[in-house]
Amino acid sequence: MNKRNYAKELDEILKDTGNKGKKLFLHSCCAPCSSYVLVYLRSFFRITVFYYNPNITEREEYGRRVAEQKRLVRELNRQAENSGDAFGIEVIEGEYQRDLFFQKVKGLEQCPEGGERCFACYHLRLMETAKRAKEAGAGFFTTTLTISPLKNAAKINEIGEALSGEYGVAFLPSDFKKKDGYKQSVELSKEYGLYRQDYCGCVFSQKERLARPSTHKTCANI
């Protein structure tokens, strides 16, 4: 079986002028990961950033990340107003449902990072995104998660496409790390002075980070 090229599939969708200006509900895990995705897609879609991350272990950390997300969007909207070559971006913050996250990963606590526990987390966040996208009448929904070199893009797309069938909203395929997407997100994070965390967000990734030497790279600081 040939391996799917999600980046190429996305490019084909962007070539279809009938999709230009459609509403895209974009789940964002953090401002740094969303930076390249927003710059890349804001000329094609009317984007609503949906910040829904109940996996984040501490409320203070959650608040810091969501504040950076909103600050980045304000900066990008200011640029769009001056240039006139991109659509404005909206931000919606979901509920901080930490207890729900623990319910969804119950029994998977000992799974390694990047395994079944993470897949359950992806599903939780994408399911809420699909639900909200349908309520908003969006043409598409997707997530910034595929920008990470350490996340399983094929699994994320598989989950998104299954939820698309359940909720009746098209899932936008992606592998945003391709075409130097991850590298560009790092550069944009420096340009905008974004806070770059050194762990995914959940208590499990936090424990792994604390157990590793400080020189170990993560998806947030590569």
Sequential pLDDT tens for the chain (222 residues): 568 999 999 999 999 999 999 999 999 999 999 999 999 999 999 999 999 999 998 899 999 999 999 999 999 999 988 887 889 999 999 999 999 998 999 998 788 887 899 999 999 999 999 999 999 999 999 999 999 998 999 999 999 999 999 999 999 999 999 999 999 999 999 999 998 876 576 767 666 666 666 544 444 443
Counted residue by residue, the chain has a size of 222
pTM (2 decimals)?
Answer: 0.91
How confident is the model at residue 55, as a pLDDT?
93
How confident is the model at residue 212, as a pLDDT?
65
d(C-alpha 198, C-alpha 118), whole Å: 17
How confident is the model at residue 210, as a pLDDT?
64
How confident is the model at residue 218, as a pLDDT?
43
Q: How many angstroms separate the first and last alpha carbons of the chain?
A: 31
How confident is the model at residue 118, as a pLDDT?
93
Q: From the CB of residue 81, how many other CB atoms can be counted at a distance below 10 Å?
A: 10
- Give CB contacts under 8 A, 24+ apart, made by 53-56: 53/29, 53/94, 53/125, 53/201, 54/94, 54/95, 54/96, 54/97, 54/98, 54/100, 54/101, 54/124, 54/125, 55/101, 55/121, 55/124, 55/125, 55/200, 55/201, 55/202, 56/96, 56/98, 56/201, 56/202
